Amino acid sequence: MTTEASKDWAGAPPPRKISWRKAGLRIGISASVLVLLFVFIPFAEVVAAMKRLTPSVWAMALVTYLCLHLIGVVKWRVLVNAAGAQLGFLHAVRAYYAGLFGNTILPTIVGGDVIRAGVAFRVVHSRAGLILGSVIDRVLDFVGLLAVAGIGALLVPRALDPQSRQVFLVVAGTLLLLGVIGAVVVAMIPVRRFRYKLRRKMVQVRRAFRAVRQRPAALVAAFLLGMLLQSLLVVLNYWLGIRAGIEVPLYVWLFVWPLAKMSGIAPTQNGIGVREAAQVALFAPFGVAASLALAVGLVFEVIIICGGLLAGLISLLMRRLLGVPAGAASSPVIPR
């Protein structure tokens, strides 16, 4: 699913093409999950909840979504510049928004990361610093989501009845135990026995952390910015939920939304379908109707898609504004 637009943005074709078979499988899984949701959840109730959101609410949510991602631009730029990329702010905005567009048209967020890096390749001092900083950015995004969900997890027991609270504590304890076991297993993995390509990826992650180890302030700042961005996206969904008729405290959203978002790593079309199903399931113990949870999930999905398309247009307009030549590229700096 490599398009001419993505080649033009990246300055070079992606390292490998995404097979139509895999892309079709991801789209098929997403479509199947959505169909199953509508089999068990009345479609009319979902539509009725979505209609409660006026056009002005949709427009305000879309503009807010794009503006909030400027925090993501600052976070990413802090990291890549800490690794030596020397990326200017306007060029960072253009590259980041191109990545948002890539997330919309490509099957996974990795495709968006490739486009984002490809755009920035032309204007950075160190391509290696760009790549390494981007790896850290992706890792911190995941850690930040976990942190926001953890804050919500500390607060949500107050919103549950005794029986649901006991179930929640058992599930939370099980997940914590599995996380500890997973960390131990990862630490004991014999890396040298892996295939060469996989070892290279693991080494890249290790280099990324080494690159900014001497600048811990940048790492902390980026982590806090990431948490801020994710928290504000939760607030945006909370606001949409209120408009649609969901009446639960904000701290419930702080728990539910990050976990639903993390479920998007499943092999689907950018998590479509799986995120909504997870949101429905996670909201159930708090008494939120499945139709309302699904409606808000679908509304935000539309905002993500429309925001990605608008971000792509903004990126193209910024290219003309900044006067970036089509074939311009700086020589890469190889990391030591």
List, as one string, the DSSP characters of 312-327.
HHHHHHHHHHHT--TT
Q: What confidence tens digit (pLDDT) does each residue in 209-223 have?
A: 566 677 788 888 999
Quick one: angle between helices 127-155 and 250-262, nearest 10? 130
Query: With left for phi above 0 and alpha for psi between -120 and 50, is residue 12 left, alpha or beta?
Result: beta
pLDDT of residue 314: 95
Distance, CA of 96 to CA of 28 (rounded, Å): 28
Percent of the chain with pLDDT over 90: 34
DSSP-based three-state secondary structure for 53: coil
User: Tokens at residue 130, please?
Assistant: 């760009």
Answer whether residue 15 shows pLDDT above 90. Answer: no
pLDDT one-digit tens code per residue, 100-154: 998 887 766 667 888 998 899 888 887 878 888 888 888 888 888 888 888 887 7
Cα dihedral 235, 265, 99, 4 sign: negative
pLDDT band at 332 (very low <50, low <70, confident <90, very high): very low
pLDDT of residue 132: 83
Rounded Cα distance, 199 and 182, in Å: 19
Spatial contact of 310 and 106, defined as CB atoms under 8 Å apart? no
Taking 60 as the threshold, does the pLDDT of residue 328 lie above it? no
Report pLDDT digits (tens) over 242-277.
999 999 999 999 989 988 888 777 666 667 778 888
pLDDT at 199 over 80: no
Extract the tokens encoding 258. 């990050």
- Rounded to whole angstroms, the Cα distance separating 294 from 269 reads 17
Entry pTM: 0.78
Q: Where are the domains of the chain?
A: 4-322
Model pLDDT for residues 274-283, shown as the tens digit of each residue: 888 888 988 9
pLDDT in tens, 164-177: 666 666 666 666 67
CA 223 to chain centre: 14
